[in-house]
Structures are given as structure tokens and as C-alpha cells.
Amino acid sequence: MPIHYGSQALNYMTISSPLGTQIPQATGYAFALKTQNKPNCVICYFGEGAASEGDFHAALNMAGVFKVPVIFFCRNNGYAISTPAHEQFAGDGIASRGVGYGIKTLRVDGNDVLAVLKATQEARRMAVEQHEPVLIEAMTYRLGAHSSSDDPSGYRNKSEEETWRAKCPVLRFKLWLIAQGWWDEDQEEQRKQAHRSAIVNAMKKAEKIPAPTLEDLFSDVYDTPPWHLQEQYDALKAHIRKYPEAYPKTSWRLDHE
């Protein structure tokens, strides 16, 4: 998963694909911050779909009981891939659950950049000064597809999308900046062009990097590969030797032989 970045230097935990697993971890980190008396807090972002996992409930309950400095930031964009919110839960969104767990809760217009900033700052103040968990539910919409393998036309209609397109947070913020006299369409166009060429250049550069070696598929997790991974690695190598045409040279190389 190429979006699973993280940064130890920035205290940014690596993103994880299994939904909800990191919500209790966030409570755990916050518990550690509290025991060390640090003036910091943890923030954990997830979707309303992830909030259907049992992990969400365990995490909020534990945070509420132990009163630890964690902000649970739920982006409620109305869909868990193709499942609309009304098929996910019968209650009033995610905010009501925070109240149920005795956690201070804010619901904010997730398409209003400044409102989200203010809500997050306020939640941080409460978490750090009062050693309290806070839940934020940001109400928003996913205009694009969930992923490159998702086709939203199968589960929602164009008019729904158009209603939300008009509320696009980037567009709203742009109009606000223009109304303040701090931005204009020319600057917007120039900035877009600059971003576009930066991205095209980065893609060109990335395309020149050789494809990963076969070994990279198995490395970087364990110092010494466990036997079952070694077995799989050997089996794959044998398969490549037997059916080389199934593995285009650009995708797989047995460089470490």
C-alpha cells in the first residue's frame, strides 16, 4: 500500500489498512502520555465506516474511563466504500456515541476548513489542559471514488454528487480567500500549473526508478525471515524459473541471487 507512510521524526504513526485497529492504539499512546505527564495529545483519524468496528467502541470506552488526552477525529463522508451511512447505523451519526461513552464531543461542518481548524484546536486544548478525550465528527462527502477499483455510479446518483460538489471545501476556501482580497483567479491558475508540473516531474522521476526486486516483497519486516516466509520466497523463485513468461522482466528481478 503506497499510502502507508509514517514518520518517527514527526510522531506520525504509519497508516494501516485494517479498519479501526489504530483507534485503541491511540488510546494506549494517550495513556502513556498521561502517565509520563507530557503536555501532548494524540489525534487519530478514521472514517464512519471504521467506527463500525468493535475496536472503536473499546477505544472510546477506555479513553473515557481513564480520561486520557486523545482526539478521535471521525470523517463522516456518508459512505463506507459503497455502503451508505443509513445502512451502517440507525443512530444519529458518530457524535452521539461519544456522548454515550462520556466523552466531550464536537460535530463540525467538515467542508468548512476554518471550522475544522477551530474545532481541532479547541479539542487539543481540552485534551492537553484537562487530560480529556474528545470526539470530533466532521460531516463531509467523498466526491471521488473510494479507490481506483471503485465506481460510485453503481451506488449513488449524479445529482447527489452535484449538490455536494457545490459545497467542496477547496472551492469554498478559495472563494473565501478571494472575498478577503487575498487571492484571485490568476494566482489560482498559476498555482495549479505549478502543482501540475511538480507532480508530472515527480512521476517521470519515479518511472525511471527500477522496479522492486523480488526480495523486497519479503524483506523489511523481520530481521531474520521466519521459515514460512522463506518457504514462500523459495517457492516463488522456483515458479519464476519454471514459468519466466508469467513474470515480465520489468516487474520481477532476481537480483539478490
Ligand X SMILES: Cc1ncc(C[n+]2csc(CCOP(=O)(O)OP(=O)(O)O)c2C)c(N)n1
Of 5, 9, 18, 180, the one binding ligand X by CB under 6 A: 18
Q: Is 156 a catalytic residue?
A: no
b/e per residue 222-247 (b: at least 16 CB within 10 A): eeeeeeeeeeebeebeeeeeeeeeeb
User: Measured from the CB of residue 206, what is the shortest distance to ligand X in angstroms?
Assistant: 24
The burial of 153, by beta-carbon neighbours within 10 Å (0-12 exposed, 13-18 middle, 19 or more buried), is given as: exposed
Q: Is 86 a catalytic residue?
A: no
Expressed in percent and rounded to 5, the helix, strand and coil fractions of the chain are 50, 10, 40
Q: Does 19 bind ligand X (CB under 6 A)?
A: yes
List all residues 6 or more positions away from 74 whose beta carbon is below 8 Å from its beta carbon. Answer: 45, 46, 47, 48, 50, 51, 94, 135, 136, 137, 138
Q: Does 48 bind ligand X (CB under 6 A)?
A: yes
User: Measured from the CB of residue 22, what is the shortest distance to ligand X in angstroms?
Assistant: 11
Q: Residue 34 and residue 66: Cα distance in Å, rounded?
A: 10
Give whichever of 90 and 209 is closer to ligand X, judged by the CB atom.
90
Interface region with ligand X, contact rule CB under 6 A, candidates 11-19, 100-108, 112-120, 247-255: 11-19
The burial of 159, by beta-carbon neighbours within 10 Å (0-12 exposed, 13-18 middle, 19 or more buried), is given as: exposed
Interface region with ligand X, contact rule CB under 6 A, candidates 7-15, 57-65, 78-86, 189-197: 78-86
Q: Residue 170 and residue 126: Cα distance in Å, rounded?
A: 28
Nearest alpha-carbon partner for 104 in 73, 120, 126, 128? 126
Q: Does 47 bind ligand X (CB under 6 A)?
A: yes
Among positions 133-162, residues that touch ligand X (CB under 6 A) are 142, 146
Amino acid letter for position 207? E
User: Measured from the CB of residue 167, what is the shortest distance to ligand X in angstroms?
Assistant: 17
Q: Of these residues, 142, 156, 172, 253, which one is catalytic?
A: 142
C-alpha distances in angstroms, 83 versus 19, 46, 48, 49, 92?
Answer: 15, 16, 11, 9, 16
User: Measured from the CB of residue 76, what is the shortest distance to ligand X in angstroms?
Assistant: 8
Interface region with ligand X, contact rule CB under 6 A, candidates 61-69, 77-85, 116-124, 176-184: 77-85
Give whichever of 21 and 61 is closer to ligand X, judged by the CB atom.
21
Q: Is 142 a catalytic residue?
A: yes
Among positions 49-68, residues that touch ligand X (CB under 6 A) are 49-50
Of 72, 79, 101, 141, the one binding ligand X by CB under 6 A: 79
Of 33, 56, 73, 77, the one binding ligand X by CB under 6 A: 77
Of 13, 43, 58, 81, the one binding ligand X by CB under 6 A: 81
Q: Which residues are catalytic?
A: 142, 146, 155
